[in-house]
């Protein structure tokens, strides 16, 4: 428990938390990583608190490493959620359970928190989901979310909206895909982000003439017209 909840009222910066919207791509869908919350019935974003001697970005990286094992992750601040009522939205949670589990000191967690929202883009196969006593992680399609704790559904929606607004100018497909991928997978991500169908041929030509991807082989194990595999070109300047 301690390892996964090293926080107390004294060692954290007060009234401030961090929540991470960890997104990935798998089987033609965008997924978000959720944890079963320590109070039954609701799922929550992987999150945590910032220690008194830590900055927010470091805290976010630490939290992500703890949850995913990864340290080289694309992670960005996207919005501060500060509605004074956001932590009152708790859907009739039974905090006595929490107190029983964690001791009465934990009640500092009932106070008002503002939370810094971060989004992270990861490669699906890089993540190994590991359950712990009080945690049970799982991938959910972003538009088929389970019942969410507090305002976490809103945080996810805002992360997606922010990414969508930026995608046209700052696309990040590389962060979501494995080393080798088909053009169809890449286009699929663009179509999700831009919320429109893209012409196959024009999309492919643009990616190739932009020089961001290169052909690296053909998919094996398919017994018909095997698709070409591409990988992103590492621009080492």
Please report, as ranges, the residues that interact with its own copies according to CB under 8 A. Answer: 13-16, 50, 52-57, 77, 79-80, 82-84, 112, 114, 116, 168-169
**Whole-number minimum distance, CB 92 to its own copies, in Å?**
22
Is residue 225 a contact point for DNA (CB under 7 A)?
yes
Q: How far is CA 229 from CA 92, 172, 177, 193, 233, in A?
A: 50, 18, 12, 22, 13
**Whole-number minimum distance, CB 140 to DNA, in Å?**
23
Question: What does 54 bind: DNA, its own copies, none (CB cut-off 5 to 8 Å by kind)?
Answer: its own copies
Q: How far is CA 107 from CA 7, 104, 112, in A?
A: 12, 6, 11
b/e map of 154-191 (b: 16 or more CB within 10 Å)? bbbebbbebbeeebeeebbbbbbbeeebbbebbbbbbe
**Whole-number minimum distance, CB 83 to its own copies, in Å?**
5
Question: What does 14 bind: DNA, its own copies, none (CB cut-off 5 to 8 Å by kind)?
Answer: its own copies
For DNA, the closer of residues 144 and 196 by Cβ is 196
Residues 163-202 that bind DNA (CB under 7 A): 182-184, 199-202
Q: What phi-psi label fits residue 75: left (phi over 0), alpha (psi between -120 and 50 degrees) or beta?
A: beta
Applying CB under 7 A, the residues found at the interface with DNA are 182-184, 199-202, 204-206, 209, 223-228
């Amino acid at each position: 428990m301690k390892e996964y909840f090293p926080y107390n009222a004294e060692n954290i910066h007060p009234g401030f938390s961090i929540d991470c919207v960890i997104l990935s791509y798998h089987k033609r869908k965008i997924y978000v990583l959720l944890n079963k919350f320590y109070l039954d019935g609701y799922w929550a974003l992987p999150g945590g608190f910032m220690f008194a001697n830590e900055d927010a970005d470091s805290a976010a990286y630490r939290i992500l490493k703890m949850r995913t094992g990864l340290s080289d992750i694309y992670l960005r601040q996207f919005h501060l959620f500060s509605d004074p009522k956001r932590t009152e939205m708790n859907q009739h949670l039974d905090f006595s359970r929490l107190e029983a589990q964690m001791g009465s000191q934990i009640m500092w967690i009932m106070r008002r928190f503002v939370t810094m929202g971060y989004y992270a883009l990861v490669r699906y196969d890089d993540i190994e989901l590991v359950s712990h006593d009080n945690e049970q992680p799982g991938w959910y399609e972003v538009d088929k979310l389970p019942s969410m704790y507090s305002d976490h559904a809103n945080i996810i929606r805002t992360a997606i909206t922010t990414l969508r607004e930026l995608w046209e100018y700052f696309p990040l497909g590389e962060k979501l895909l494995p080393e080798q991928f088909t053009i169809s997978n890449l286009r699929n991500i663009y179509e999700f982000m831009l919320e429109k169908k893209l012409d196959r041929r024009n999309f492919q030509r643009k990616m190739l003439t932009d020089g961001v991807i290169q052909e690296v082989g053909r998919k094996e194990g398919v017994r018909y017209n095997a698709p070409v595999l591409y990988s992103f070109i590492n621009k080492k300047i």
